[in-house]
Structure 1
Amino acid sequence: MKKIIFSLAVIGSLSSCLQAQKSTKKESTNNKTTKTVEIDSATVRKHLYTLASDEMEGRKPGTEGMEKATQYIEQEYKRIGLKTLDSLESYRQNFEYKGIKMSNIIGLLEGKSKKDEFVIVSAHHDHLGMKKDGEGDRIFNGANDDASGVTGVLALAEYYASKGTNERSILFVCFTAEEMGLVGSEYFGKGINAEKFVAGINLELIGKEPKTGPKTAWLTGFDKSDFGKIIQKNLVGSGYQLFPDPYPKFQLFLRSDNASLARLGVPSHTFSTTPIDIDTDYHKVTDEAETLNMTVLTETVKAVARGTESIINGIDTPTRVEMK
């Protein structure tokens, strides 16, 4: 009888241990899935150096290099766990322009209580391609313009997907053919209900220190809505500052992909850091990854995450844009 009781006790003890191990494993798994992936310089560097590599051949629409860049972004969307739009068969929004087959790349992170309200995080993944002839470097790598912005999109996608607190749905979009006249973003804009889009967060040329100094960025169209003021409020105490566009004569609000949505009334603005009036690499073959500041790029993406959090979580809603 004692042997039976002892055996039962051992079995019970083993059962308890196994149950505890299962519980611990489950808790560990849950913790792993809910742990926020922080925005770090290693990830930022990986994305930037891949997208701005010679292998991408300057990412001109319709080229093999552009296809490689598109596939890289798609792979990252899939790894992160972004969904595709119901209207699309894949992450690609395919269309044709002047005989060239093109794709915007769109990934969806569904919101919770306000999933029918959208915030778009965007950048353009195209650039100028290659020189047809000549000696020396012939590749327009487009590191700052705009591999830096796409790097930000991918880093923010992974950050928000791991955080899992977005009340509003987020569309992560890499637009094509910006350099050909905002072609990809205009095509995208024609197929949406703009009233459902509460904000547009566009990233362009965010890899160099601006004239406003360290840990600062500037925003196009600052006076067009209260989007910028919301960001400034959220950045208080962070050590990072946001300023209005210091180049009003260049009309930059209308020269990046944010303009395609702003014309529809969406409070869509572009974050940038580059001192474009003195930047010697803009649209040159010298716009390579080595010329960018990884600290500036990483800190800017972090600031965008913090600055836009109240919008993404449904607390703040920027005023609509009225184009004159």
Structure 2
Amino acid sequence: MKKIVFSAVLLSAATISFSQNIDKIINAKEAERIERVLASDEMRGRRTFSPEIDKAADFIAAEFKAAGLETWKGSGSYLQKFAFIATKQISLSATLDGKAIDAKNVAVSTTQAEVKVTPSSGYEVASIAAGANFNVEYSKLIQSGKNMIIYLDPSFSNIFTRVSSSFRRAAFKKDNNVVVILDSKPATDFLIEAKFETTEQPLANVVGVLPGKSKKDEYVIFSGHYDHIGVGKPVNGDSIYNGANDDAAGTTAVMLLAKYFKAVKNNERTIVFAAFTGEEVGMFGSTYFSKQFDPAKVVAMFNLEMIGTESKWGKNSAYITGYDKTDMGTILQKNLEGTEFKFYPDPYTEQQLFYRSDNATLARLGVPAHTISTSKMDVEPHYHKVSDHVETLDMNNMAMVIKSIALSARSIISGKDTPSRVKTEDLR
């Protein structure tokens, strides 16, 4: 196997200092130790909201503590707890201008047990007409945070079905309600009543902090998601989706990087290590996490996803999603001069991977946030299958990828380099 060359001839003294003892901390043996816990059958696929994902969180927290990380904002716990509200509709009725309408043509988004809307309720009323750009118009209305009734032209009936379905998902507790009605003509008189059974569902990210020195108010984030998809129908007698590569591999990397950077102790910027929950069901964890920061103070985000196998280019390589959206990839590769490791632009752009992992939540806020991966997404044989076991991973290559990420990040955590920002207006 090819290895990174850490020689005095090729690398500067600063690089040698940065890479000292890296093999003692980041190695195949340690990676496998962590993987065999997170991807064990006892974790039963680490499904969001399951008891087993809590066990995984406790394990990660213990690793952060052993590494000597601080807790987020001195909270005293590595668990960044939050809750989602699950709603089950019990009843729904609607009358527009004295005429009862089919409840199937009305959708209500709320986290409250009861909703009653009349003209005196103060709801803003809006319409999306036939031929309009639904995504643009709808996003603008939803992001206002107001109590709102949106009349949707019947030509959008297929989209209405998707909207209605999305309203049934668990959501962060919110103060406003949104009513969407499949009708082109807004009513002057109306009565909409709905009742829901609400359940609070606790969740937790696992977050550890390594405070910076001269630039402690500037943040660099290393992240991965520790949830997976749980247990399903048996395939050849196996029903557990262990998720060794997706994304126990990325979470393992976060833990090993935490231990390494703590040992090196040369970060001028504050480093935040985050293991997210709920990625597989809607990026719940990273969405909550992103709300805890002033995005302008987040200098870079390294999101690590499925790095346990060789990339399409073989060993000593990985790809970066959204490579052209900032100059972060260029900075990382510059820091790897004198090594045999290479970062490539995402070769699977048609799959929109930049938007499908936890980096997207911060990228939408302008943060240079990218996912690093090695997964061959066009021919990945174990993706979201019960066969995603530790035995399918190349631990030596995975350790090399993690070490290369550590080396590539050095000028960013030292404060020397600052990646360009994501232009949010260019995102879909």
Q: How far apart are residue 133 of structure 1 and its match?
A: 6.5
Relative to the length of structure 2, the TM-score reads 0.66
1:25 maps to what in 2? none
2:239 maps to what in 1? 138
1:215 maps to what in 2? 316
1:113 maps to what in 2? 214
Change (3 A) 1:207 1:35: closer
1:175 maps to what in 2? 276
> In structure 2, how many angstroms separate the alpha carbons of the residues matched to 1:244 and 1:133?
37
2:304 maps to what in 1? 203
> In structure 1, how many angstroms separate the alpha carbons of the residues matched to 2:413 and 2:324?
21
Tell me if 1:305 matches 2:406.
yes
> In structure 2, how many angstroms separate the alpha carbons of the residues matched to 1:69 and 1:264?
29
Flag structure 2 segments of 5+ consecutive residues without an equivalent: 1-19, 85-169, 171-199
Q: 1:85 is matched by which residue type in structure 2?
A: W
User: Could you tell me which of 319, 337, 344 is aligned with 1:236?
Assistant: 337
2:69 maps to what in 1? 82
Change (3 A) 1:142 1:224: same
CA RMSD of aligned residues (A): 1.5
The ranges of structure 1 where at least 4 consecutive aligned residues each deviate by more than 4 angstroms after the TM superposition are 34-37, 132-135
Q: Deviations over 1:1-55 (max 9, x none)?
A: xxxxxxxxxxxxxxxxxxxxxxxxxxxxxxxxx9765311111111111111111
When structure 1 is superposed on structure 2, of 37-46 and 51-60 the one drifting more is 37-46
Same amino acid, percent of matched pairs: 47
> In structure 2, how many angstroms separate the alpha carbons of the residues matched to 1:128 and 1:235?
35
> In structure 2, how many angstroms separate the alpha carbons of the residues matched to 1:134 and 1:165?
48
Q: Deviations over 1:103-127 (max 9, x none)?
A: 0111000011111110000000000
> In structure 2, how many angstroms separate the alpha carbons of the residues matched to 1:206 and 1:85?
26
> In structure 2, how many angstroms separate the alpha carbons of the residues matched to 1:44 and 1:133?
28
Tell me if 1:73 matches 2:60.
yes
Flag structure 1 segments of 5+ consecutive residues without an equivalent: 1-33
Q: 1:61 is matched by which residue type in structure 2?
A: T
Tell me if 1:94 matches 2:81.
yes
Is the Cα–Cα contact under 8 Å of residues 122 and 173 in structure 1 kept in the other structure?
yes
Q: How far apart are residue 141 of structure 1 and its match?
A: 0.2
* Secondary structure class of the residue paired with 1:47: helix
When structure 1 is superposed on structure 2, of 158-167 and 60-69 the one drifting more is 60-69
Q: How far apart are residue 100 of structure 1 and its match?
A: 2.4
Q: 1:237 is matched by which residue type in structure 2?
A: G
Q: Deviations over 1:43-92 (max 9, x none)?
A: 11111111111111100122121111111001001111110112634111
1:10 maps to what in 2? none
1:296 maps to what in 2? 397
> In structure 2, how many angstroms separate the alpha carbons of the residues matched to 1:91 and 1:210?
32
More helix by share: 1
> In structure 2, how many angstroms separate the alpha carbons of the residues matched to 1:204 and 1:310?
22
1:318 maps to what in 2? 419
1:31 maps to what in 2? none
* Secondary structure class of the residue paired with 1:179: coil
1:61 maps to what in 2? 48
* Secondary structure class of the residue paired with 1:223: helix
Q: 2:295 is matched by which residue type in structure 1?
A: A
Tell me if 1:164 matches 2:265.
yes
Is the Cα–Cα contact under 8 Å of residues 78 and 208 in structure 2 kept in the other structure?
yes
Is the Cα–Cα contact under 8 Å of residues 27 and 396 in structure 2 kept in the other structure?
no
Q: 1:40 is matched by which residue type in structure 2?
A: N
> In structure 2, how many angstroms separate the alpha carbons of the residues matched to 1:249 and 1:41?
33
1:24-43 correspondence to structure 2 within 5 Å: 37-43=24-30
Q: 2:336 is matched by which residue type in structure 1?
A: L
> In structure 1, how many angstroms separate the alpha carbons of the residues matched to 2:314 and 2:232?
34
Q: 2:217 is matched by which residue type in structure 1?
A: D
> In structure 2, how many angstroms separate the alpha carbons of the residues matched to 1:135 and 1:147?
23
Figure out how many residues of one structure are paired with residues of the other and give that number: 291
> In structure 1, how many angstroms separate the alpha carbons of the residues matched to 2:268 and 2:252?
24
Tell me if 1:45 matches 2:146.
no
Is the Cα–Cα contact under 8 Å of residues 61 and 100 in structure 1 kept in the other structure?
no
Q: How far apart are residue 191 of structure 1 and its match?
A: 2.3
User: Could you tell me which of 288, 291, 296 is aligned with 1:190?
Assistant: 291
When structure 1 is superposed on structure 2, of 36-45 and 185-194 the one drifting more is 36-45
Is the Cα–Cα contact under 8 Å of residues 166 and 312 in structure 1 kept in the other structure?
yes
Relative to the length of structure 1, the TM-score reads 0.87
User: Could you tell me which of 334, 343, 350 is aligned with 1:249?
Assistant: 350
Q: 2:422 is matched by which residue type in structure 1?
A: V
Q: How far apart are residue 135 of structure 1 and its match?
A: 6.7
Is the Cα–Cα contact under 8 Å of residues 215 and 239 in structure 1 kept in the other structure?
yes
Change (3 A) 1:134 1:247: closer
